[in-house]
């Protein structure tokens, strides 16, 4: 049913545009040059049609096997203590705003608050059509330059945080995890939460012994629900790990692998002495840093997808 829904979402807009184009062609044949009102209407309809065609062409860029899936997004503060933790919380807000604007549902899977402010790390499940297709462009190190609100001398600071995005794997993808291959630990949830969350051993951490991959969840009061969510995240990470292995094998043949290492930022957000956000992979930039931090990321995502497809910026 999910596959049928996805195919209909692709074929439906194309058929609608085909009908619209035929109607416009017919109207152009009967409208006279002296009918200014009808010509103005045709101009407006043509512009609207062009925008729909551009959107359909853009959607062709989201053709990866996992692009239609929901996304599991993790943010980790870099070195720098409170500064980096605060920057991680700003990124958390940015992706929440982006998800709201795209009608995506956000579920907090796991969070570790900073000692003074912000968050050290956080994992989100962002559920929505093509959430992974768009958000995969965010994987890498994000750099912030600003006057620190935590520095009494008002000096400029640079902070780093890493973002990792993997697709949520469907239940029909066969990722077998045996009980003998994992270690399950339960512990008391930390941070803000209701009485039931903070007073019972409901949080669950699952460690895959062979790979060392870890997934944990402390969002729900139910230990069973937390275990199910943590297992879903673990399976997604195992699936992503296997996909990366295959990609690395292919890239040994077809070219040098582009590694994202800690400290090699993909995007810089400068708030002082000027405002600018620049993506270093595509050179796309904007001076409206406030809008970007409020979740206006579509232009950056589009530039990345076009660059990856080789269709230009």
> Which pLDDT tens digit goes with each residue over 118-129?
999 999 999 998
* Structure confidence at residue 205 (pLDDT): 93
Q: What is the CATH number of the domain that holds 147?
A: 3.30.70.1660
Domain that holds residue 223: 179-252
Confidence of residue 261 (pLDDT cuts 50, 70, 90): very low
Pick 196 or 200 by higher pLDDT: 200
* Structure confidence at residue 173 (pLDDT): 52
- The span from the first CA to the last CA of the chain, in angstroms, equals 35
Give me the mean pLDDT over the 92-117 stretch.
Answer: 94
* Structure confidence at residue 199 (pLDDT): 56
Residues 244 and 271 in one domain: no
Per the confidence metrics, is the pTM higher than 0.95? no
Burial class (CB in 10 A: 0-12, 13-18, 19+), 224: exposed
Residues 82 and 149 in one domain: yes
pLDDT of 22 > 50? The answer is yes
> Which pLDDT tens digit goes with each residue over 52-86?
887 777 777 887 888 888 999 999 999 778 999 99
Residues 12 and 155 in one domain: no
Residues 105 and 166 in one domain: yes
The residue among 283, 282, 289 whose CA lies nearest residue 304 is 282
Residues 274 and 188 in one domain: no
**257 assigned to some structural domain:** no
Transcribe 96-163 into DSSP letters: HHHHHHTT-EEEEEEEEE-SSSSEEEEEEEEESTTHHHHHGGG-EEEEEEEE-TT-TT--EEEEEEEE
**65 assigned to some structural domain:** no
Token representation of residue 236: 């997604």
């Amino acid at each position: 049913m999910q596959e049928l829904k996805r195919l209909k979402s692709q074929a439906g807009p194309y058929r609608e545009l085909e009908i619209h184009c035929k109607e416009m062609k017919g109207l152009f044949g009967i409208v006279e040059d002296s009918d200014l009102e009808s010509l103005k209407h045709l101009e407006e309809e043509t512009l609207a049609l062009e925008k729909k065609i551009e959107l359909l062409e853009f959607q062709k860029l989201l053709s990866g096997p996992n692009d239609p899936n929901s996304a599991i997004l993790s943010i980790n503060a870099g070195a720098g203590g409170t500064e980096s933790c605060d920057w991680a919380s700003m990124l958390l807000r940015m992706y929440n705003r982006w998800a709201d604007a795209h009608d995506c549902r956000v579920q907090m899977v796991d969070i570790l608050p900073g000692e003074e402010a912000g968050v050290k790390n956080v994992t989100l499940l962002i559920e929505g059509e093509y959430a992974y297709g768009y958000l995969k462009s965010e994987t890498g190190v994000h750099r912030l330059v600003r006057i620190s609100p935590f520095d009494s001398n008002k000096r400029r600071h640079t902070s780093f945080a890493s973002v990792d995005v993997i697709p949520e794997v469907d239940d029909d993808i066969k990722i077998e995890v045996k009980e003998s291959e994992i270690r399950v630990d339960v512990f008391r949830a930390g941070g803000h939460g209701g009485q039931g969350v903070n007073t019972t051993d409901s949080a669950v951490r699952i460690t895959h012994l062979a790979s060392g991959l870890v997934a944990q969840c402390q969002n729900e009061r139910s230990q069973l629900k937390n275990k199910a969510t943590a297992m879903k995240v673990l399976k997604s990470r195992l699936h992503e790990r296997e996909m990366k292995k295959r990609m690395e094998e292919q890239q040994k043949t077809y070219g040098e692998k582009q590694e994202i290492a800690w400290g090699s930022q993909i995007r810089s957000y400068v708030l002082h002495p000027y405002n600018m956000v620049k993506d270093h992979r595509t050179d796309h930039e904007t001076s409206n840093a406030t809008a970007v931090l409020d979740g206006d990321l579509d232009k950056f995502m589009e530039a990345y997808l076009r660059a990856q497809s080789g269709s230009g910026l």
